[in-house]
Structure 1
Amino acid sequence: MRVVLHVGLPKTGTTYLQALLAGQRGSLRSGGVVYPFVRPGAMFEGAVEVRGSAAKFGLDPARVHGTWQAVCDRARTLLEQEGGSTALLSHEVLAGATPEQVRRALAPLAGLEVHVVVTARDLGRQAVAHWQEEVKLGSSLAFAELERTQLRCDSGRDAGPDEGGRRPHFWHAQDFADALRRWTDPLPGGRGHLVLAPPPGAPRELLWQRFAQACGIDPALVDPGAEVAANPSLGAEQVALLRAVNREVERLGARGRGLDAAQRHRLVKRGYAEGVLAARPGRPARAPAGLADVLGPPARRWLEEVVAQGHSVHGDPGDLEPVLAGPGEPGPDVAPPAGEDPVAVARDLVGTSGASRSWRPWRGRGGPSGR
């Protein structure tokens, strides 16, 4: 009996893959593959428990306690009761786990044949996605500042942030060779697999085919063209507006009228950023062309390490070349759209914080809904 741990990386098509697995559990089980269900959100909460990051996501530690064990127990039970061959567990929050966290995560799977799959994407798109996710979580950082403080800093591994070191978070989060090393060090050789996300414009089912191959399952068990929820992405102007709103929310917080972590996650990230701004059309943000020499070499070096470590690679190595802005194309940092009032949005968000409902979209472009 095999268990395949898909541990990320973040922003590498994980939402698409997880939606396919969750939406087609019945078809998978007909082929001996289980994607265990404990309760809604259990895979995420189990990963959060492994990482000890409940506060970051505004979750009650008591709620997540024991969830990872429950997910692993469910996977084992399904394999034993149904005679299945493979169980899949997947969440990108696992990617940054420390060696000690990895050992604790593997303990409930003792006696099973554990494999680890890491998905990776070119660092041009990853840099923008990483910045955008930080803004969704409350940052007001400009991309130029991210470039200065993280992207152009040393990408080496003298120490990771989880060990109190100085390696910028971006490089720790995106180093797929290091993630594979941390997750496979306690396992026998040949248990690590790297899946490369296809380039822009490629058929999205190509990612599923590469992933299924890495997991050792029949790709025909799942319809990769099924309609699934995508991870909401923002255009450049929408990110600029969200940064301005975050500054206002922070200013209100300094006056004692802010949002706690749970409220920020529910209202700003889920309700406003992913529910309102993501629905608006906008020009995609692309990393500046000048970052080619910053983002290209590390990915090539990491790929060489993966091959040298004996892990299998699924996809075209050329897909790791950074996707960047073209000549004359504007960078990610732009002005917010005209006519928007981030002060009014921030006040409305803070005013909604005591309600159980999510923040409601604006009816128009000039002010909050109902005002």
Structure 2
Amino acid sequence: MAEKVILHIGQQKSGTTYLQEVLGHVSGPLADDAGILFPDSIREILPDAIENHEKATRGLLGGEYPWVSAADAAAERRKWPRLMAKVRAWPGTVLLSAEALSAIRSAAVSRLLAEFGDTPVEVVITTRRLDRTLPSLWQQHVRNGRGATAEEFFAVLAEQRERGRQAIEEELDLHLWRAFGLGGLVRRWAAAVGPDRVRVVVNPGSPPDLLWHRFAEAVGAPGCADRLPSDVRTRRTHSGLTSDETELLVALNRLLDQAGWSTFESRALREEILRDGLLARGERGGPVAVPEPARELVRGWAEEDLAELASSGVRVVGRPGELRPAPEGPDGHRPATSQQVADAAAAAIMAVTARARYRPAPPPKSWRTWIRPRTRDSGAPSP
């Protein structure tokens, strides 16, 4: 059995996908120089995929993830034993990364930790300020087919947070605040493994490789921080929607739902619009942001989390102050104008329009024959 297991559990939208891609590229030096195994899972089948272990945890925890059906969980059931075989075979430290683990309840935490027996388990939480993560989560929901406006989305978040600590810890459907409420997330895992075995890594957002350097320090591999090609170290793995694009898709999603399009049909249409229309534009507009009426709420939530973090006894890599929302909203944010939304809509229409449908139809064959110049038979006499 491994002598130690490190669980990287997110949060979502805190740079986890970026870190998982980096870890996939640096897994060799990580094992050779630091004795840390980052086990293959996806790359065994898809060499260019971004490595993570979330699907394997679905095979163990099943319905603890509200977004995973029983059939999907059953389909992943074999992956957890395969992953555990690699954990048992490695003599040093094993690093597992699955951001969905930030959303599980205390009973599921205990069930997961029991899989490792007496092996010490440490937890690394990556986090970012709420006025960045929550708008990014909203645009991801819209990209996945939801039709809630930003105002509606933050109203739901406020209602759920008001349900209180106990409800968030116990009710399956309140998983968003189990994952994004940093204070509760730290408290839950510190109670399970001890505060001395929990580290919180702050993602300041820029430069992107600063997150990787902090993460490498947190997992005990600072010597690997520079063992990575520069194009990977500074790469951004997600291309989020801009404010005008998200507003456009909110309206589109509502119309698709009213028209009775299936989930598959709607997803295919959105991806074509995104790939061939919106993401290909040079001028794409500003980033999504917390709507003005919700900014005070978000600042209050962040201060509550910072207070709990300060009293938790866990180690923070980075500066806690970097988790405070910007006073005037994210830099560069401007509300989408009607012209920007119109430009996005025009790009979307062009992306899914088959130009050939609008070309003039060729004239009928009989008409083409009638206007074709007559040719003389070489054997016929001249008139």
TM-score normalised by L of structure 1: 0.78
State the 1:30 CA deviation: 1.4
Partners in 1 of 2:128 and 2:240 — Cα distance? Answer: 16
8 Å contact from structure 2 (residues 147, 253) kept in 1: yes
The correspondence for 1:68, drawn from 74, 77, 80, is 80
Pair 1:174-2:180 in alignment:
yes
The correspondence for 1:130, drawn from 118, 124, 137, is 137
Partners in 2 of 1:332 and 1:173 — Cα distance? Answer: 29
Partners in 2 of 1:145 and 1:198 — Cα distance? Answer: 27
Task: Give the equivalent residue in structure 2 for 1:2.
Answer: 4
Structure 2 stretches of 5 or more lacking a match?
44-50, 358-383
Task: Give the equivalent residue in structure 2 for 1:300.
Answer: 303
- Report SS of the residue matched to 2:345: coil
8 Å contact from structure 1 (residues 289, 326) kept in 2: no
Q: Does the C-alpha gap of structure 1 residues 122 and 113 become closer, same or farther in structure 2, counting only changes over 3 Å?
A: same
State the 1:190 CA deviation: 0.9
State the 1:76 CA deviation: 2.9
After superposition, give the CA deviation of every residue in 1:1-46 in whole Å (9 maximum; x if it has no partner).
Answer: 2211011100000111000001221121111121001344661312
Partners in 2 of 1:305 and 1:54 — Cα distance? Answer: 25
8 Å contact from structure 2 (residues 247, 341) kept in 1: yes
> Amino acid of the residue matched to residue 15 of structure 2?
G
- Report SS of the residue matched to 1:336: helix
How many aligned positions are there? 337
Structure 1 stretches of 5 or more lacking a match?
346-361
| Cα-Cα RMSD | 3.3
State the 1:91 CA deviation: 1.7
Partners in 2 of 1:197 and 1:219 — Cα distance? Answer: 19
Pair 1:46-2:62 in alignment:
no
Paired-residue identity, % = 27
Partners in 1 of 2:228 and 2:305 — Cα distance? Answer: 32
Partners in 1 of 2:109 and 2:356 — Cα distance? Answer: 48
8 Å contact from structure 1 (residues 4, 115) kept in 2: yes
Spell out the pairing of 1:251-330 with structure 2 (5 A cutoff): 251-253=258-260, 257-259=261-263, 267=268, 272-273=273-274, 277-280=278-281, 281-289=284-292, 291-323=294-326, 324-325=328-329, 330=334
8 Å contact from structure 1 (residues 68, 105) kept in 2: no
Pair 1:159-2:167 in alignment:
yes
Partners in 2 of 1:152 and 1:140 — Cα distance? Answer: 18
Spell out the pairing of 1:177-256 with structure 2 (5 A cutoff): 177-199=183-205, 202-221=206-225, 222-223=227-228, 225-227=230-232, 228=235, 230-253=237-260
State the 1:203 CA deviation: 1.7
Partners in 2 of 1:225 and 1:152 — Cα distance? Answer: 43
Moved more, 272-281 or 229-238: 272-281
The structure carrying a bigger helix percent of its residues is: 2
- Report SS of the residue matched to 2:6: strand
- Report SS of the residue matched to 1:115: strand
8 Å contact from structure 1 (residues 54, 61) kept in 2: no
Partners in 1 of 2:169 and 2:275 — Cα distance? Answer: 28
8 Å contact from structure 2 (residues 287, 333) kept in 1: no
Q: Which has the larger radius of gyration?
A: 2
> Amino acid of the residue matched to residue 11 of structure 1?
K
State the 1:264 CA deviation: 6.0
> Amino acid of the residue matched to residue 171 of structure 2?
E
After superposition, give the CA deviation of every residue in 1:58-96 in whole Å (9 maximum; x if it has no partner).
Answer: 77333211323322331331x22xxxx322111211110
Partners in 2 of 1:42 and 1:328 — Cα distance? Answer: 32
8 Å contact from structure 2 (residues 62, 74) kept in 1: no
After superposition, give the CA deviation of every residue in 1:244-303 in whole Å (9 maximum; x if it has no partner).
Answer: 2212331233xxx5125xx766x3676654775344333212224554421123223223
Partners in 2 of 1:14 and 1:6 — Cα distance? Answer: 9
State the 1:144 CA deviation: 1.3
